[in-house]
């Protein structure tokens, strides 16, 4: 069946190519690439034009649409170009016409368009049936002498017309107007340069073809954009003009205007090249709408016929210079521009500097002027020969008239004159075609004067053709003439150095208090005080609960620590503002986190002060102290290492503001107190040392700083709060097991899950505390943790429904770090006064445990 179908297809098709697809595609694409590189997207180094631009200008010239002639409809021009030279869509032709007419895209526009030809706000031009156009004076200088066989012509697409492969180009258009395009494997981005500077550089190159790059570049100061602005980066300009590749910064031109007393406005008069003004104004205004800059009152586009003007009104007392720098940093008021000077040289694309481009242009001009000189020389010699015949004719005029009257026709007249007086065929033709009225004023002196002028012109043309020095002088004279007629003052200011702008975004944020909530499941929310006060309930997922809840400033920073030893650096103002009853933002949407990563501690920081330490502790008892300033970073798009962990270890506790003691508590109820000076300080990415010895069946749950006079509370898995005193814990050296302060039952034991320091100030002020279970969070005050002496503490919730998870107590006014200057001397303990767990052997190797817990009654 398949073979029958193939046979039918074979009979139907006239030609079948039996070749691998990759070969066909490769060959076809290679031809297509060659075409779009050479004949579509990249400019020729000689005239700086792409084929469509060249065809448009040539067609308009053929239509006689010079700069001082009437306009013609753009649709007629596009039709002429499409029908004769450019077999593509009329929209691509019209778009190229429009661009060549826009004075905000072209430094020297090549087309003078009458009507709406678009705007710097991104408005498109009116349809081609509405607009009219003609050549500009500059375009005429590109086309000048094209009728004198100066450039090669080739047949058009249907072999019915001839079109030029390049224009004579009386100024280096590739540098003056620049170019932009993308082809297969190549792209070009050449900015415009000042015509006067480019001409001066070209003349300097003509004078010395061995001129150095540095000297040549001294003539061209840098790009000169039609939209003006300020360019920064002299080194980038030098690199680009030498190699064809380099980076510069373009900045808008602005000034600060006083509106009223202590109130200013920023005024923008020039914007970077090829920027959409309307989008720029919108992006600046969005900073105001999104409240990223609070000090902007209004952004207005006041552009009119007098010129561009964008006004940014500021609030009273606002720092205009700071806001302007922020706008440079955050909007397109300042952009980077990358040179990529790729052009077609000898039918091949090259990325080159200024020197090869000028050399290509000068070689082209030598060829153009040589061709023109040959054309004019032939013409002058012919005219000289005719003038010689006319002068001779004047002396025998009467006899010539008689011969012509006796002749039967023109050919007979010519033949008789040639035989009688020895005129050549060309001279005889000129005589017999001479109109009768010319005989009345044929002046022998005028003819002799003309003959003298022609002889002089012929000598000069011969000099051009035989002496390169004269040829160069002609090129220089014509360049100077173009400069006089087309040159204009520089619009763009060049600054040597790129100004480094460093903006602290916090300076843009008002110092306003907000409510921050962080949940155990990893949701972070920021709400205004009004939203918080208006909400009856907090928005939480099922079984989620707060582990951090505090009123803090927008200017604060959250350090969110995870069990994997990482921390997430989150400026408060960067957190999305939400209602208090919303869920908040999942931490994984702020920065990427591992699936097994969970939040274990949240610390808010106003200033990263070097005198403040953080205490970090792991499940296996490793601890370290780290300066708070070590946690400050400028880039925070991912989680940052806060402590290096050993295998099978986790970070469980982070505490801030160093005090004399460090208290470590384990799950099995052991407590260790040692002096802060005993624990070394390490960097944020380092590991720690053994702070508390942990048994195989135990793990550290919390470590915190404490004063001697402080209490501390512990939350058990069964939801009990147990309160104890720091002073009752004996001071040991670190790396000890400590003493048991919570005796666990054999069944359903009171494992410790969390703990917190409780100072006298906090008790006196009765501060708020969060008690988080596996199901919810209880907001209580610390006075509710009081209980009568019971070794298993106070029951806070039903242990059959939920389990203890985390306890958080709000800081009080005494949260000031204590500077630990030196390590104290080793303390020798009195065995009687030390409260330790001892083992004593009594009758038949039975062990009994002595502990201060024996002072309490069982529950």
Active-site residues, by number, are: 130
Other residues' Cβ atoms within 10 Å of the Cβ of residue 365:
26
Nearest to 705 by CA among 658, 666, 673: 658
**SS3 of 623-670:** EEEEEHHHHCCCCCCCCEECCCCCCCCCEEEEEECCCCEEEEEECCCE
- Rounded to the nearest 5°, which phi and psi values hold at 518? -130, 130
Other residues' Cβ atoms within 10 Å of the Cβ of residue 736:
17
Contact 46, 186 (CB under 8 A): no
Alpha-carbon distance of 682 to 614, in angstroms, equals: 10
CA torsion angle 729 733 736 738 (round to 10): 0
Q: How many residues does the chain have?
A: 859
Cα dist. 486→44, 137, 169 in Å?
Answer: 21, 8, 13
Question: Strand 768-773 relative to strand 777-781: parallel, antiparallel, unpaired?
Answer: antiparallel
Distance of CA 523 to the CA centre of its chain: 32
Query: E strand or H helix at 114, and its extent?
Result: strand 111-114
∠ CA 233-237-241, nearest 5°, is 175
3 state DSSP class of 251 = strand
Q: List for the chain the helix, strand, coil content (%; round to 5).
A: 35, 25, 40
Counting Cβ atoms within 10 Å, is residue 840 exposed (0-12), middle (13-18) or buried (19+)?
exposed
Counting Cβ atoms within 10 Å, is residue 1 exposed (0-12), middle (13-18) or buried (19+)?
exposed
Alpha-carbon distance of 603 to 811, in angstroms, equals: 11
Alpha-carbon distance of 72 to 92, in angstroms, equals: 19
Contact 575, 587 (CB under 8 A): no
Q: Which residues contact 794 (CB under 8 A, 6 or more apart)?
A: 720, 721, 722, 785, 786, 787
Contact 753, 771 (CB under 8 A): no
Cα dist. 350→16, 178, 188, 192, 593 in Å?
Answer: 39, 15, 10, 18, 47
Distance of CA 498 to the CA centre of its chain: 16
3 state DSSP class of 141 = helix
Alpha-carbon distance of 387 to 451, in angstroms, equals: 6
Contact 791, 858 (CB under 8 A): yes
Contact 253, 230 (CB under 8 A): yes
Query: E strand or H helix at 135, and its extent?
Result: strand 132-135
End-to-end CA, the chain: 92
Task: Detail the DSSP E strand segments found in 239-303.
Answer: 245-251, 253-260, 263-270, 296-301
* Exposure of 754 in the CB half-sphere (CA atoms within 13 A): 24
Contact 132, 74 (CB under 8 A): yes
Alpha-carbon distance of 133 to 131, in angstroms, equals: 7
Sign of the torsion formed by the C-alpha atoms of 379, 381, 384 and 390: negative
């Amino acid at each position: 069946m398949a073979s029958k179908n193939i046979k039918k297809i074979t009979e139907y098709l006239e030609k079948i190519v039996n070749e691998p697809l990759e070969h066909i595609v490769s060959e076809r694409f290679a031809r297509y690439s060659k075409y779009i590189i050479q004949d579509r997207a990249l400019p020729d180094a000689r005239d700086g034009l792409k084929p469509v631009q060249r065809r448009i200008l040539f067609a308009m010239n053929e239509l006689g649409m010079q700069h001082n002639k009437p306009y013609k409809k753009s649709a007629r021009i596009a039709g002429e170009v499409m029908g004769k030279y450019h077999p593509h869509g009329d929209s691509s032709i019209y778009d190229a016409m429009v661009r060549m007419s826009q004075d905000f895209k072209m430094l020297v526009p090549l087309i003078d368009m009458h009507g709406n030809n678009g705007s710097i706000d991104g408005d498109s031009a009116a349809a081609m049936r509405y607009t009219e156009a003609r050549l500009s004076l500059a375009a005429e200088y590109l086309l000048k002498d094209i009728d004198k066989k100066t450039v090669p012509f080739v047949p058009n697409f249907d072999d019915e017309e001839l079109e030029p492969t390049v224009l004579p180009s009386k100024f280096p258009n590739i540098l003056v107007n620049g170019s932009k395009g993308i082809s297969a494997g190549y792209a070009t981005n050449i900015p415009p340069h000042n015509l006067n500077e480019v001409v001066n550089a070209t003349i300097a190159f003509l004078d010395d073809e061995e001129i150095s790059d540095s000297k040549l570049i001294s003539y061209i100061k840098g790009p000169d954009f039609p939209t003006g602005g300020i360019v920064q980066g002299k080194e980038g300009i030098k690199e680009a003009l030498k190699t064809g590749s380099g980076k510069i910064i373009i900045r808008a031109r602005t000034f600060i205007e006083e509106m009223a007393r202590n109130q200013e406005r920023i005024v923008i008069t020039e914007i970077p090249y090829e920027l959409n003004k309307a989008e720029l104004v919108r992006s600046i205004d969005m900073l105001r709408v999104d409240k990223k800059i609070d000090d902007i009152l209004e952004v207005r586009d006041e552009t009119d016929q007098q010129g561009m003007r964008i006004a940014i009104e500021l609030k009273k007392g606002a720092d205009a210079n700071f806001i302007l720098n922020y706008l440079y940093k955050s909007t397109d008021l300042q952009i980077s521009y990358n040179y990529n000077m790729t052009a077609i040289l000898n039918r091949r694309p090259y990325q080159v500097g200024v020197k090869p481009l000028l050399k290509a242009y000068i070689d082209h001009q030598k060829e153009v002027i040589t061709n023109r000189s040959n054309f004019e020389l032939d013409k002058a010699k012919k005219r000289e020969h005719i003038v010689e015949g006319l002068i001779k004719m004047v002396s025998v005029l009467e006899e010539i008239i008689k011969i012509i009257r006796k002749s039967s026709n023109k050919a007979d007249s010519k033949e008789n004159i040639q035989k009688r007086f020895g005129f050549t065929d060309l001279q005889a033709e000129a005589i017999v075609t001479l109109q009768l009225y010319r005989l009345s004023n044929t002046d022998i002196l005028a003819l002799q004067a003309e003959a003298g002028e022609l002889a002089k012109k012929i000598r000069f043309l011969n000099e051009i053709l035989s002496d390169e020095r004269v040829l160069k002088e002609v090129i220089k004279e014509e360049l100077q003439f173009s400069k006089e007629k087309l040159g204009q003052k520089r619009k763009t200011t060049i600054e040597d150095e790129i100004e480094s702008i460093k903006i602290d975004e916090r300076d843009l944020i008002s110092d306003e208090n907000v409510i921050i909530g962080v949940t155990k499941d990893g949701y972070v929310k920021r709400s205004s005080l009004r939203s918080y006060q208006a909400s009856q309930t907090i928005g939480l997922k099922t079984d989620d609960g707060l582990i951090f809840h505090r009123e803090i400033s927008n200017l604060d920073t959250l350090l969110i620590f995870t069990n994997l030893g990482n921390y997430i650096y989150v400026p408060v103002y960067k957190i999305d503002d939400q209602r208090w009853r919303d869920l908040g933002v999942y931490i994984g949407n702020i920065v990427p986190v591992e699936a097994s990563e969970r939040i274990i501690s949240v610390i808010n920081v106003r200033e990263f002060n070097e005198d403040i330490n953080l205490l970090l502790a792991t499940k296996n008892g490793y601890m370290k102290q780290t300066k708070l300033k070590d946690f400050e970073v400028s880039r925070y798009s991912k989680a940052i290492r806060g402590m290096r962990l050993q295998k099978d270890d986790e970070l469980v506790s982070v505490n801030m503001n160093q005090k004399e003691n460090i208290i470590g508590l384990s799950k099995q109820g052991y407590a260790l107190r040692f002096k802060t000076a005993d624990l070394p300080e390490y960097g944020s990415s380092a590991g720690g040392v053994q702070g508390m010895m942990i048994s195989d069946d135990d793990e550290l749950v919390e470590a915190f700083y404490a004063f001697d006079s402080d209490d501390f509370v512990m939350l058990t898995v069964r939801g009990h709060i147990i309160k104890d005193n720091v002073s009752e814990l004996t001071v040991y050296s670190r790396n000890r097991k400590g003493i048991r302060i919570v005796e666990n039952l054999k069944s359903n034991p009171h494992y410790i899950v969390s703990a917190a320091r409780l100072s006298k100030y906090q008790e006196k002020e009765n501060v708020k505390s969060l008690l988080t279970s596996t199901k919810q969070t209880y907001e209580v005050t610390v006075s509710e943790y009081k209980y009568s002496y019971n070794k298993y503490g106070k029951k806070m919730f039903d242990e059959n429904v939920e389990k203890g998870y985390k306890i958080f107590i709000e800081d009080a006014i005494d949260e000031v770090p204590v500077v630990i200057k030196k390590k104290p001397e080793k303390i020798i303990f009195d065995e009687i006064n030390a409260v330790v767990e001892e083992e004593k052997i009594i009758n038949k190797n039975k062990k009994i445990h002595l502990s201060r817990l024996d002072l309490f009654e069982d529950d």
